[in-house]
Structure 1
Amino acid sequence: MTADKHAKRAARNLAAREGISYAAARRRLAAAPVDVDQEHQEPRPPVAVPMVSAPCPEGCEGSGHPGTACWAWRPADVGSGTSWAVRRAAELPGGRAEQLAERVERPWQKTPGGPWASFHAWDDRWLLALVYAMLTDQRPELRPDRGALRAAVEADDLAAVDALLEPLDRAAARLTTKVPAVWWGEVKPLLDAYADDVESDDGRDLLVVSWQEVEARHVVGRLVDRWRKAWVPVRNHNGYMDPPGVMWIVVKEWLDARLVDQHGGHAPGARVRLGDGRPAVVRAVEWGEDGPPVAYRVRELEPGRHGNVGRLVPSLTSDVLVPAADCREDRPCGVCGRTAGMAEALCDDCAPRVAPDRPGRAVGGLQSPERPSGRVPE
């Protein structure tokens, strides 16, 4: 895709310089086997420039190895003494996105039914990579210092890598959301505009100066292709033409879990008590410029009515933004000492559950108090 952009730019320059049409300029450039010097109009053969045999030190400008191209250090250039997780966590944009997704999804896949529940979320980790690419392109200050990042990777220190990339993770967490209105009204249009910017020459200097920049632009182009493909209608299993879309809510959850692990707070899925004592479950975390969470987006818990009587379940219509100071840990269970968010201070394992359609029948291996067991205790 990058080579095609250069060809379009060269055709426009040639058409403007010689007063010919754009199509004629494209045909002339396609028929010419060699490059053309735009200043002297003389053909010159391409020149192969060798690269140095090892990554250059930070700040190298090529004066120390004349006649050879620089090789800027990348996380993939470290030796075998560094773990794979550290190398991938430092590699932007795809490696970092894959590593954060793996931290959250891998433990879930080890639970019963986990592989089925997290398969689609893991498959859409490219969306986080696209968010990283957009933020680093539009805000270069979010990129970590290359020298400090190299030292952290060579020291095999995952915590140091996370600390250097925290500004980028925090910016991505503040951009992404779990609110449908915000996604469709704000976040998706931003990604659409970035995809348009990548696919066009407007507002972007595509005169790359190194092979590594060409490779980086190719990676971004592949991410944009995935984004475009996600919104092309295809025939689904019901026979309707619908775009496959992307599971955009999981990106916010991955970033929240990563930042909560570093700064503390309530991770998504944690049960809390609001300031007035109502139980709730954390759905998403709101972050400030730095420090711990500033607010939580929660769903209130309500008594179950469909096969889960005696338990509190999240209300699907509840979406409340609560300041962090008004959310506290749920009080311990009066029976087993654990926290579960039950109105009767009983955890899910201790609370008796009775099916509403057949009174007296135990559900989940627990005996109903209305019909005691006929077994005589020894």
Structure 2
Amino acid sequence: MMVEDQHQDERPRRKPVSGRARRRANRARAALTGVPYSVARRGLDAYCEGPASQGRTIYPASTDGHRLKLIDLRAGRTFAQRVHDARVAADLPWGRARHLCERFPPTRGESGTGVGPLYHGEWRQDVLARVYTTIATEVEGLAPSVGELAWAAELGEETAVDIVCALLDRTARLALDRVPSIRADLSFEGAKQTLDALLVVSEDGHSPGTRVRIAAEPYSGATGTIVGARWELTGPPVAYVVRPDGVAAELVANPDDLVVLAFRAPSRREV
């Protein structure tokens, strides 16, 4: 017993992590998964499976290490950087379009799922800017005033700009549903997915890329990936467009017929 205790005393002790570094990591976890900071502080294992009609996923955890690093960098921005980004977000239409494309970077579906690029498209930014321009022109008073945008931007929080632009953003997303789908061009789908993720920030819901289990026929029990959302004038998504794993077709599912899968984000060593 004495020998064992001696060996235990000789083991190298792990260097403690500073409180600042731990808080920074927790903020990154919260940004990555869309869970509250208090949940991220207890670890990602606290984010359990549940019906898609509940909860929120802004940045679905995945094995895409590059996207994870980009999100991590955003989580660590200084106040001055956040103010700059908020000003860009408030600069309609092109600044906001660029901001959203940077805020929700491209990714791909997980290996083996058959899901291709998400948030992609060479003209994604152009599509967003043009739909903002079109609806602001067609509907008088829909776009916020320059004064409202400037006030929100100086708060240094992009979500403050989101609140001011909430009606414009949702109308833009609904407008894109009226555009005929062009499979050969990822830009329209990428723009839709970008606005899906944006609307989820202020509503319960799950962004494209979220992994789910399907609880309705004909794919009951199969796993799949959310690739889009269906919206009404208010509230969270009323349905999700899901791509079952290994299946070329997509299905539109009620949120209660989907279970969001817990997914452990890769550690820095793994990415």
Equivalent in the alignment of 2:127:
127
Question: Does 1:83 pair with 2:90?
Answer: no
Identity of aligned residues (%): 31
Q: Deviation of residue 122 (structure 1)?
A: 5.1
Q: Deviation of residue 339 (structure 1)?
A: 6.9
In 2, the alpha carbon distance for the partners of 1:289 and 1:124 equals: 23
* Compared CA separation, residues 120 and 268, structure 1 to 2 (3 A): closer
Between 1 and 2, higher relative CO (CA 8 Å, sep ≥ 6) is seen in 2
Question: Does 1:249 pair with 2:164?
Answer: no
Equivalent in the alignment of 2:181:
183
Equivalent in the alignment of 1:285:
229
Q: Deviation of residue 160 (structure 1)?
A: 1.1
Q: How does 1:98-247 map to 2 (within 5 A)?
A: 98-105=98-105, 108=107, 121=121, 124-177=124-177, 182-183=180-181, 247=187
In 2, the alpha carbon distance for the partners of 1:283 and 1:137 equals: 30
What letter matches 1:322 in structure 2? A
What letter matches 2:242 in structure 1? V
* Compared CA separation, residues 92 and 160, structure 1 to 2 (3 A): same
Q: Deviation of residue 84 (structure 1)?
A: 2.0
In 2, the alpha carbon distance for the partners of 1:325 and 1:285 equals: 14
In 1, the alpha carbon distance for the partners of 2:253 and 2:167 equals: 24
In 1, the alpha carbon distance for the partners of 2:105 and 2:122 equals: 7
* Compared CA separation, residues 138 and 265, structure 1 to 2 (3 A): same
* Compared CA separation, residues 118 and 292, structure 1 to 2 (3 A): closer
In 1, the alpha carbon distance for the partners of 2:225 and 2:240 equals: 10
* Compared CA separation, residues 93 and 274, structure 1 to 2 (3 A): same
**RMSD between superposed Cα atoms in Å:** 3.2
What letter matches 1:325 in structure 2? D
Q: How does 1:290-329 map to 2 (within 5 A)?
A: 290-301=234-245, 313=246, 315-316=247-248, 318-329=249-260
**SS of match in other structure, 2:208:** coil
**SS of match in other structure, 1:142:** coil
TM-score under structure 1 normalisation? 0.41
Q: Deviation of residue 324 (structure 1)?
A: 1.9
In 1, the alpha carbon distance for the partners of 2:127 and 2:98 equals: 10
Q: Deviation of residue 135 (structure 1)?
A: 0.7
Which ranges of structure 2 fall in alignment gaps of 5 or more residues?
1-79, 109-116, 266-271
Aligned residues: 173
What letter matches 1:271 in structure 2? R
Q: How does 1:43-58 map to 2 (within 5 A)?
A: none
* Compared CA separation, residues 299 and 100, structure 1 to 2 (3 A): same
